[in-house]
């Protein structure tokens, strides 16, 4: 099984999250400093190469609203 992670890399909003995911629930807390849309994605790649999970569509958008 290929592991997954959760990445939000938005320094302009004060968000820097990179958390490996597991079978147990986890809490991830942060306080955005700027309104906007920021990519949220899995950065892992298959162990034998190929496209990353993000390149294969494992990406979403975090919407920060006032």
Tens digit of pLDDT at every position of the chain (66 positions): 558 999 999 999 999 999 998 888 889 999 999 999 999 999 998 888 889 899 999 999 999 999
According to the model, what pLDDT value does residue 60 have?
Answer: 97
Model pLDDT, residue 25: 86
The count of C-alpha atoms lying within 13 angstroms of the C-alpha of 41, restricted to the half-sphere facing its C-beta, is 15
Q: Write down the pLDDT at residue 49.
A: 80
Q: How far apart are CA 46 and CA 54, in angstroms?
A: 11
- Tell me how far CA of residue 33 lies from CA of 4, 7, 41, 63, in angstroms: 27, 17, 20, 12
Q: What is the pLDDT of residue 23?
A: 84
Question: Among 20, 24, 26, which residue's Cα sits nearest to residue 4?
Answer: 20
**How far is the C-alpha of 25 from the C-alpha of 14, rounded, in Å?**
24
pLDDT of residue 2: 59
């Amino acid at each position: 099984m290929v592991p997954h992670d959760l990445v939000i890399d938005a320094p302009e909003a004060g968000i820097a999250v990179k958390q490996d995911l597991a079978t147990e629930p986890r809490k991830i807390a942060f306080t955005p400093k700027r309104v906007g849309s920021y990519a949220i994605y899995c950065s892992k790649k298959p162990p034998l190469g190929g496209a990353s999970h993000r390149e294969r569509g494992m990406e979403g958008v975090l919407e920060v609203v006032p």
